């Protein structure tokens, strides 16, 4: 499991940053103690209703952590298309290709396949020189879950079937690992915030550090890996990007 902390503001020395922030010589958004956090220091002030009052110096931090989780399967999506002179022929061809795809995928996937209703459209037609003949198109998609063990077999099998396009694979976190990752990211972010608050208080000659507010935001799901990138990875499931999550905390401390 890996963690990183992203810089949220320009790097300054602690003494310069704290003196500028405390004296109001720069904007709060530009104050930073170290690259891992966004930091702002304000003079004593009344807190909004519902929040604890700070009778000392208000310290505001923005801490971000991210990491990867263990994974044991992939969510995949395939595109399926057919083209013919008439709509009936296009649908018949799509049905035939879908039946072959279902048969090929059955021993490779875990659980059921998801196949939405097909869509159709027409291309070509018109009058004049260079006009393309009318063609009817029918398409749908097929998605499901594949294990690491059959990851490459599914790519090789589906990729060779006519009318099939590989749209992407997304690694799925193993049972419990994503929950453990989120808990670990939260602990790491809180520990980093406290470390920065303690350092700030020490630099200012203050002794008491009180946490007033926590505002948490979590990152979304990872994007699917397109087929072109899987070619470069030689279809090895262990070389695929693992599930990644991020967590951002806005922390308010009262220093006195």
What is the C-alpha separation between 54 and 256, in angstroms, rounded? 9
Q: Tokens representing 217?
A: 């935001």
What is the C-alpha separation between 92 and 94, in angstroms, rounded? 5
Listed range (32-46, 93-107, 129-143, 202-216) with the worst mean pLDDT: 32-46
Which run of H or E residues covers position 109?
strand 109-114
| Dihedrals phi, psi of 127, to nearest 5 degrees | -130, 165
Q: Which of 35-44, 119-128, 152-161 reaches the highest mean pLDDT?
A: 152-161
CATH classification number, 71-173, choose in 3.30.830.10, 3.30.70.2970, 3.40.50.300, 1.10.357.10 = 3.30.70.2970
Say what percent of the chain tops pLDDT 70: 68
Which residues lie across from 64 on neighbouring strands? 248
The per-residue pLDDT for range 70-82, each reduced to its tens digit, is 788 899 999 999 9
Q: Coil, strand or helix: which one is 253?
A: strand
Where is pLDDT greater, at 110 or 35? 110
Give the mean pLDDT of the chain. Answer: 76
For residue 10, pLDDT beyond 60: no
* Residue 23 burial (CB count, 10 A): 10
What is the C-alpha separation between 34 and 197, in angstroms, rounded? 12
Say what percent of the chain tops pLDDT 90: 39
The residues, ordered by sequence, that sit 6+ positions from 152 with a Cβ below 8 Å of its Cβ are 235, 236, 237
Give yes or no for a contact between 237 and 243, defined as CB atoms under 8 angstroms apart: no
- Domain coordinates in residue numbering, the chain: 14-69+176-221+242-255, 71-173
């Amino acid at each position: 499991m890996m963690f990183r902390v992203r810089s949220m503001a320009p790097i300054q020395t602690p003494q310069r940053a704290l003196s500028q922030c405390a004296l109001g010589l720069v904007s709060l958004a530009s104050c930073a103690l170290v690259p891992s956090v966004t930091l702002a220091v304000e003079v004593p002030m009344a807190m909004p209703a519902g929040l604890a009052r700070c009778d000392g110096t208000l310290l505001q931090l923005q801490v971000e952590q991210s990491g990867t989780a263990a994974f044991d399967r992939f969510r995949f999506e395939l595109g399926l298309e057919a083209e013919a002179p008439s709509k009936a022929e296009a649908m018949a061809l799509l049905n035939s290709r879908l039946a072959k795809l279902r048969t090929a995928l059955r021993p490779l996937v875990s659980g059921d396949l998801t196949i939405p209703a097909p869509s159709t459209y027409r291309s070509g037609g018109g009058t004049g020189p260079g006009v393309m003949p009318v063609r009817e198109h029918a398409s749908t998609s097929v998605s499901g879950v594949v294990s690491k063990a059959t990851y490459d077999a599914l790519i090789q099998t589906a990729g060779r079937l006519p009318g099939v396009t590989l749209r992407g694979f997304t690694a799925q976190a193993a049972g419990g690992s994503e929950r453990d990752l989120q808990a670990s990211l939260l602990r790491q972010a809180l520990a980093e915030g406290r470390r920065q608050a303690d350092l700030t208080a020490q630099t200012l000659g203050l002794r008491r550090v009180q946490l007033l507010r926590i505002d948490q935001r979590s990152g979304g799901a990872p994007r699917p890996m397109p087929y072109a990138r899987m070619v470069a990875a030689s279809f090895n499931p262990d070389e695929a990007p693992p599930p990644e999550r991020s967590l951002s905390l806005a922390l308010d401390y009262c220093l006195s």
